[in-house]
Structure 1
């Protein structure tokens, strides 16, 4: 059902969106220096925000919501104030959503335009986040859930399935992935969740709560029984990325150390923890050969030095729908830390 825009006033300190102790320490080490650089920039200078999916940038023509405090004797910590609002997807969001999804499947050429059309064509289940009263109408985040069987005839979904089956060559998981993409596709919802890296983490719980609430409502409110059935998911498929140390122990069943994995999205750390995702449903696929984006306030040269021993990896996760209430509680607890 349609929703009114939801306002989220944010007063946030300049801090990284990384949650493992190792990643947090790396990010905080350079946050003060970066903040000083930003403070010296002209207020009207264009800002480029990297997306959470790769090395593409969302260009914003102005930056009038940032405020900074400084002290000669103390490290500067930036303060950002912005009014974020949640909206149902609509056709005018096409460009902003497409920019966010440009590296969703790494650098593969595929029917991204058709994929964006699927998301925008499903306004009852999905959300875009914008800055309230922003004249540029930029999109800072998009979340949605697409039924793989319902859209099986779409060129974009066919290409997405084929790509996943091609890059995920682990024999321990390929049969399960093929089953989810094929015979059980009616029960599988593809969760699409992309955003600019510096989106306030406090927005994550209401974003996911809204998505899963809408899915539940759709099972009763959609106009036909067929559409209602298409939202009764038993599994969710999630495509994401993370940084994995080149020497990390990849032995099955071995718990990774904090320094082995750096999560670009904090929720992925929850999804990968038992009992959210069973071990046979994990699939690490190499989608790139080097770092392209990192969720902290460091500059690019520092990132390249710090991440020289890490590789950007694709991540495919299958999550049982029955585990989502637990995920929602854990995500809220993580953000509240």
Structure 2
């Protein structure tokens, strides 16, 4: 890498937004039977000495059951090899595991490295299963400058952290380009997840009902994805290779409906990313 751009000397707190910075302390409503806890989020650069296990865990979560298809240790090492690109979000200081992360990898630049070989092949194969993703294989197989964006967070982390994560990522990419580093992308390819509600096989007797549930509305694990795909030149979901390892009954959580997860990709032209992030900000923080 070139000259290091560091943010760690002055860790960045979440912008002044009560939905992100803090959860309200104890509710004044006597009917509430739980307490709310104050939480301050901090932004840090990736640190290879601290963040290997947390990064590996969140990346595995991002790829869901198909995470087992890749060498996640090698992928985590690749992410950590570019500490000035991307961010971790933590609560109890730099020395703890991340609650969220975001980074971008140049697919063409790393195409000969093991984890990128595996993932780029996987992306091309999955894109070919969905006509809506037809634009993606040609870009990757043609060696175009595509930035692979990987963003994941623990389930209870508020979605309002997404806009500053994306904003800082674009700022860091811009600085890297000024330093003649290989981040001058033509497109960003965002990997994510969606899900559909399906009825548990324990309760289903009528297979027609089960089929109808599987064709239900698509939901987003990351609410910002619904906005980002409106700015995409291509987007769509795909079945996981290991989907049999993720049956509905194992994902039932306090409801009679299970969920079936899908991989999801969004391809955004680099020039349109700033407007896309601005739209995400307005959507998640409408009062600002």
Given the two structures, how large is their TM-score scaled by the length of structure 2?
A: 0.79
Residue 319, structure 1, aligned to residue 268, structure 2: yes
Counting matched residue pairs gives 255
Distance 1:144 1:157, change over 3 A: same
Residues of 2 paired with 1:76 and 1:200: CA distance?
21
Change (3 A) 1:313 1:93: same
Matched-pair contact (CA < 8 Å) for 1:290–1:312: no
> Take 2:51 and 2:249, find their aligned partners in 1: how far apart are those partners?
25
Give, in whole Å, the separation in 2 of the partners of 1:249 and 1:270: 24
- CA shift, 1:79, in A, is 2.0
Shift of 1:78: 4.2
Which runs of no fewer than 5 residues in structure 2 stay unpaired? 15-19, 198-210
In structure 2, distance between residues paired with 1:105 and 1:191: 13
Q: The residue matched to 1:102 in structure 2 has which SS? A: helix
Three-state SS of the structure 2 residue aligned to 1:83 is coil
Instruction: Name the CA shift for 1:201/1:301 in 2 (closer, same or farther; >3 Å).
Output: closer
Q: How does 1:259-270 map to 2 (within 5 A)?
A: 260-270=217-227
- CA gap of 1:176–1:301, structure 2 versus 1, over 3 A, is closer
Determine the structure 2 residue equivalent to 1:277: 232
Q: Which residue of 1 aligns with 2:121?
A: 162
CA contact (8 A) 1:170 1:283 kept: no
2-structure distance, mates of 1:233, 1:188: 5
Query: Cα deviation per residue 1:78-98 (whole Å; 9 max; x = unaligned)?
Result: 422122211110112101111
Q: How big is the alpha-carbon RMSD for the aligned residues of Structure 1 and Structure 2?
A: 2.7
Question: Which residue of 2 is the match for residue 89 of structure 1?
Answer: 46
Superposition deviation, residue 163 in structure 1: 1.7
Matching of residues 4-23 of structure 1 within 5 Å: 4-8=10-14, 10-12=21-23
Q: Counterpart in 2 of 1:117?
A: 77
Q: Which residue of 2 aligns with 1:197?
A: 155
Structure 1 unmatched runs, 5+: 14-66, 251-258, 295-299
Aligned to 1:144: 103
TM-score by length of 1: 0.68
Distance change (3 Å), C-alpha of 1:249 and 1:82: closer
